[in-house]
Chains A and B, each alone.
Chain A
């Protein structure tokens, strides 16, 4: 069936092309820097233009079976964590803010809240906040949380499109994958991006760009408008790491989603920005402003063949419990220690038995927290997650409730923890490990080590495990029939003629 682009209330704007600069220097010698400026690249040769072209020209047939499969898993997981996230305090606060500041819009649905709809931008915002509210959402390599920045915006935009012209499931998946792919490509422009971040929180940098790209695709913007959408988004990107492990962190994803959508909408109305935003221009920073080292590469347009999506080469990590990815290694290592101890003695681990707990982990300030005080801090604490797993044998959603966090046994263990940062343990999600070494009263030591936790891209969650996670999350806010229907709809998303079937199940 031929696909017609969604009829726009947003007219395509004709844009006059950039003029090539004529060499105008005089016969006498000119200062070198002035000469450099005159040699402007022809628009089509720029990295920025190549991205605009890619976004605009990618077609559904370019999605391979592997990419379809992996991205559907991401969509399912993202919806599930968003649904459970809609029960958190930070979500409530964000929703209240939107409802106070803006009258109820009736366009786009809000995860898990029947009867509440917001304008698309705000729906993208709150649903993005929900997705990241418990740090339960997916993680990629190089490090970012790709889906939470993109899915809420694509959902909100789909709700906005006229009833007689909703995107098909395939259009939806295509836009989603464009948003993921763009993030992956941008992360590869910098070596700094390969390690656990220190300066800017990656979702706030590449997530905004991914959202803009995905929305540009769904709006069927032309190559030039698509590149302007990216450039406008760049001026909305960037949040510092200091707000990680605080209640504001989820807003990084919420904002990435909504601001990317906003950038695409502004571009569709004809707003223009820098045509060189992704290129490296000495003396004038574009997207490069967010990185210490930056080497951009143009993106090949797919043409008639398939495109090699990064998702095909590099899978995603899904979390088994709601905490920073680094916690999963120490939790698995500590769980194996717990198993050994419990197997030998009484059914629980008692602090009285424990003399010392040594964690060998990579060096990263924002996840080194001896005594976390809020759930946000606890989700970013090697110490907390290791001790919880030592005590309980696992870390779960419930581990971060105030009751669980205030247990005296837990505090007793926490006070016995010390950290070491071995040289061979880099702050890199592809290469790190977690080791837990318990010294018992009496002198015996028990050791556990995890190189690859279950859920990591090297050891992906099975489809069963992923659905189990989804059910457990979604059932907190939706009835089981809706939960099962969602699983089916996402599974068949690429066959869906009209994505309304997906949109209607979310609340």
Chain B
């Protein structure tokens, strides 16, 4: 395993992988910047400011706050996942948020600044390791029920990526992974709560920590990936396999075969299907009847895959709302769109929305599998007048089978980043990431991430 990422030279990155991973980095930075305005981020930041250190790393979207690198990785990771707006992969996890914050925080502490290509390579190592580990278990292919995947594979990816950037030896890399394994595993029950973003924040920071500890010689179990009582403890079925010999010239990256999904809505991935289906059903109704009117609706049936933690008939918090088929479907019907603004307290509390929620029922058909690769959502609107209007979504726009265009990806980033950075910062980041493989010194990225707008200085304390 370790041989793979130590020996990966920069020319092993193919164009396909470079392109896809740059998209991931851009999207992650955008959602992270937007996320620095959330309540959970602010709590974590206040907490983290208890600590000082000689080494300093930036907090995204803050022009003058610095933190010890581990805590910078922590809070930036939390920002990335704070609104459930970050990327998702298959098998299921949120790969980038666990890796990028750790790498950027680490990069700022290194005596000689890594190049953009160094950063890109380390990033891809962190993603690849996560992908490989998830393929050790069939359980990993379905929507999770026990452990939240970023807390299991994310910390391993962060350790691997950090180890790569630090230039650790193969043996040290093994130990970084072993140490990280003892920091893995958070239960799913904290999903749909304010603590969920910490799973990504902790994955980033503890993976970084594992690499730093390995660097100064701490050792763990060198067979950590092989043993059932190693990483296998997080899975009911676990069959590890060795990575292909890296000496072979063309390394096959998973990212080449399996793209990620980027979200259009800051909510759990499953919500994207139900929203697209609801919008389509709404349009059918509108086309048939001439205008859309809430009072026409007698009942709404959602046909979704079975997954308890995203089945929430009447969410009370934004976190619950982001994990509710019912809420997202109804918002789509009510507003003809679901956006960042849909999850504010006022929006959640609307009486028209609650009334509509009261008309919703869920069904979990046998053929609707709890897997992000196979699921679908169907929305059926039954009207008082008689006819029903049904629409189905198999693949939402943004899914890996139907990826966002570059323009839409950059638009998403611009909208997110502009809430925090000035125009120069927004465009600077787009430019640097777009050309990252040619950037000589990646510290330029850090400076753009700190270019807050004037409005930002005034609004520093505003909480979403």
Could you list which residues of chain A lie within 8 angstroms of chain B, going by C-beta atoms? 18-19, 21-22, 24-26, 28, 30-31, 33-34, 37-38, 90, 93-94, 96-97, 100-103, 105, 119, 121, 198-201, 204, 231-232, 234-243, 245-248, 251-252, 255, 262, 265-266, 269-274, 276-277, 281-290, 365-366
The answer on a CB contact under 8 Å between B193 and A289 is no
Bound Cα distance from A406 to B198, whole angstroms: 46
Q: List 16 A-B contacts (CB under 8 A).
A: A31-B364, A101-B212, A121-B51, A241-B229, A242-B230, A243-B182, A246-B221, A248-B178, A252-B182, A262-B47, A265-B47, A266-B43, A271-B194, A277-B190, A284-B188, A284-B189
Nearest residue, chain A, Cβ from B236: A292
Tell me if B242 counts as interface (CB < 8 A to partner A). Answer: no
8 new A-B contacts, CB < 8 A, other than A28-B361, A101-B55, A243-B182, are: A26-B299, A200-B233, A232-B190, A239-B181, A242-B181, A269-B43, A273-B195, A284-B188
Cβ contact of B221, chosen from A37, A243, A284, cutoff 8 A:
A243
Interface centre among A240, A270, A366 (most CB of B within 10 A): A240
Task: Please measure, in the bound complex, the distance between the C-alpha atom of A231 and the C-alpha atom of B190, giving whole angstroms.
Answer: 7
Q: Which of A22, A100, A199, A284 contacts B309 (CB 8 A)?
A: A284
For A277, the closest partner residue in chain B by CB is B189
Q: Max chain B CB contacts within 10 Å: which of A236, A248, A281? A: A248
Query: 9 closest Cβ contacts across the A-B interface?
Result: A286-B189, A283-B308, A239-B182, A242-B230, A273-B195, A235-B186, A238-B185, A289-B187, A248-B220
CA distance A38 to B308 in the complex (A): 11
Q: Determine if A90 and B361 form an interchain contact, defined as CB atoms under 8 angstroms apart.
A: no
User: Which A residues are in CB contact (< 8 Å) with B50?
Assistant: 119, 265
> Which one of B89-97, B252-260, B310-318, B430-438 is at the A interface?
B310-318
CB distance from B26 to the nearest CB of A (A): 28
Beta-carbon nearest neighbor of B231 in chain A: A240
Name the segment of B144-152, B388-396, B408-416 touching the other chain. B144-152
User: Contacts of B188 on A, CB cut-off 8 Å?
Assistant: 284-286, 289
In the assembled complex, the Cα of A93 lies from the Cα of B54 at a distance in Å of: 18
Please give the distance in Å from B183's CB to the nearest CB on chain A. Answer: 7
CA gap between A235 and B186 in the complex, in Å = 4
Within 8 Å of chain A (Cβ to Cβ): is B344?
no
**Which partner residue on chain A sits nearest B53 by CB separation?**
A102
Residues from chain A with Cβ under 8 Å of B221 in the complex:
242-243, 245-246, 248
Tell whether, in the assembled complex, residue A33 and residue B364 are in contact, meaning their CB atoms are under 8 Å apart.
yes
Instruction: Give the residue among A24, A277, A288 with the most B Cβ atoms within 10 A.
Output: A24
Interface centre among B47, B213, B233, B358 (most CB of A within 10 A): B233
Is B137 among interface residues, defined by CB-CB distance under 8 A? no
> From DSSP, what is the main secondary structure of chain A's interface residues?
loop
Inter-subunit contact A289/B69 (CB<8 Å): no
Q: Do A93 and B217 have beta carbons less than 8 Å apart?
A: yes
A242 engages B227 (CB within 8 Å): yes
* Inter-chain contacts of B223 with A (CB < 8 A): 242
Contact A281 B224 (CB under 8 A): no
Bound form: Cα–Cα A17–B70 in Å: 34
The chain B residue sitting closest to A205, CB to CB, is B185
Cross-chain contact A240 with B359 (CB below 8 angstroms): no
Most buried by B among A18, A34, A285: A34
A38 to B360, CA, bound (A): 12
Bound CA span A284–B230, Å: 23
Interface hub of B68, B221, B223, B299 (most chain A Cβ within 10 A): B221
Tell me, rounded to whole Å, the shortest Cβ–Cβ distance linking B28 to chain A.
21
Residues of A within 8 A of B83 (CB): none
A283 in contact with B145 given A38-B313, A269-B47, A272-B193 (CB within 8 Å)? yes
| With A238-B185, A243-B181 as contacts: A33 and B311 at CB distance below 8 Å | yes
A234 touches B186 (CB 8 A): yes
The one of A93, A119, A274 that contacts B51, using a Cβ cutoff of 8 Å: A119
CA separation between A255 and B202, bound complex, in Å?
Answer: 13
Interface of chain B, main secondary structure: loop
Chain B contacts for A255, CB-based, 8 A: 182-183
Q: Is B122 an interface residue (CB 8 A)?
A: no
Of the listed residues B53, B192, B229, B314, the one surrounded by the most CB atoms of chain A closer than 10 A to its CB is: B229
- Bound-state CA distance A450–B29 (Å) is 61
Please name all residues of chain A whose beta carbon is closer than 8 Å to the beta carbon of B358 when the two chains form the complex.
24, 26
Beta-carbon contact of A31 and B230 below 8 Å: no
Report whether A243 and B224 are in contact in the complex, using a CB–CB cutoff of 8 Å.
Answer: yes
User: Does B282 have its Cβ within 8 Å of any Cβ on chain A?
Assistant: no
**Docked CA distance A369–B307 (Å):** 44
State A266–B51 Cα separation when bound (angstroms). 14
Neighbour of B362 across the interface among A31, A90, A105, A272, CB < 8 A:
A31
Q: Could you tell me if B179 and A248 are in contact, using CB atoms closer than 8 angstroms?
A: yes
Least CB distance from B154 to A in Å reads: 12
**Contact status of A266 and B229, CB under 8 A, knowing A242-B221, A246-B219:** no
Chain B 179-218: CB-based contact to A (< 8 A → 1; otherwise 0): 1011111111111111100110010000001001100111
Do A251 and B189 form a contact, CB below 8 Å, given A24-B358, A240-B224? no
Asked if B237 is at the interface of the complex by the 8 Å CB criterion, the answer is no
Q: How far is the CA of A243 from the CA of B233 in the complex (A)?
A: 12
Q: Is the CB of B307 within 8 A of A242?
A: no
- Contact (Cβ within 8 A) B51 A102: yes
One of B46, B202, B309, B357 near A235 (C-beta < 8 A): B202
User: By the criterion CB–CB under 8 Å, are A232 and B195 in contact?
Assistant: yes
A235 to B43, CA, bound (A): 17
Distance A38 CA – B186 CA, assembled complex (angstroms):
25
Given A199-B229, A248-B220, CB of A285 within 8 Å of CB of B189: yes
Q: In the complex, A286→B191 CA distance in Å?
A: 10
Say yes or no: is B403 at the interface (Cβ < 8 Å to chain A).
no
Q: How far is the CB of A87 from chain B (nearest CB, A)?
A: 17
Known: A232-B198, A247-B220, A288-B187. A269 touches B46 (CB 8 A): yes
Q: Closest residue of chain B to A278, judged by CB?
A: B189
Contact of A37 among B145, B182, B308 (CB under 8 A): B308
Docked-complex contact A30 and B178, CB < 8 angstroms = no
- What is the bound-complex CA distance between A103 and B69, given in angstroms? 12
A97 to B191, CA, bound (A): 32
A241 to chain B, nearest CB (A): 4
Whether the Cβ atoms of A101 and B53 lie closer than 8 Å is: yes
Across the interface, which residues of A come within 8 angstroms of B7, CB to CB? none
Instruction: A283 to B191: give the CA distance in the assembly, Å.
Output: 12
Q: Which residue of B lies closest to A22 (CB)?
A: B314
A92 to chain B, nearest CB (A): 10
Residue of A nearest to B224 (CB): A242
What A residues does B191 contact at CB under 8 A?
Answer: 284
Complex CA–CA separation, A31 to B227 (angstroms) = 41
Verify if B427 is at the interface (C-beta below 8 Å from A).
no
Nearest B residue to A201 by beta-carbon distance? B182
CA distance A269 to B46 in the complex (A): 9
Residue of B46, B51, B189, B199 near A276 (CB, 8 A) is B189
Residues of chain A contacted by B234 (CB below 8 angstroms)? 240
What's the Cα separation between A72 and B230 when bound, in Å? 35
Cβ contact within 8 Å between B306 and A33: yes
How far is it, in angstroms, between the C-alpha of A25 and the C-alpha of B359 when the chains are bound? Answer: 8
Flag if B51 contacts A285 (CB, 8 Å). Answer: no
B381 to chain A, nearest CB (A): 13
B293 at the interface (CB under 8 A from A): no
A105 to chain B, nearest CB (A): 8
Judging by beta carbons under 8 Å apart, are B361 and A286 in contact? no
Q: Which of B53, B179, B182, B194 has the most CB of A within 10 A?
A: B182
| Cα A366 to Cα B230 with chains together (Å) | 12
In the bound complex, how far is the Cα of B218 from the Cα of A476, in angstroms? 24
With contacts A25-B361, A28-B299, A242-B221 taken as known, whether A271 is within 8 angstroms of B185 at the C-beta atoms is no
Bound-complex Cα distance A30 to B308 (A): 15
Residues in chain B near residue A285, CB distance under 8 A: 145-147, 187-189
Query: Which single residue of chain A is at the shortest CB-CB distance from B221?
Result: A242
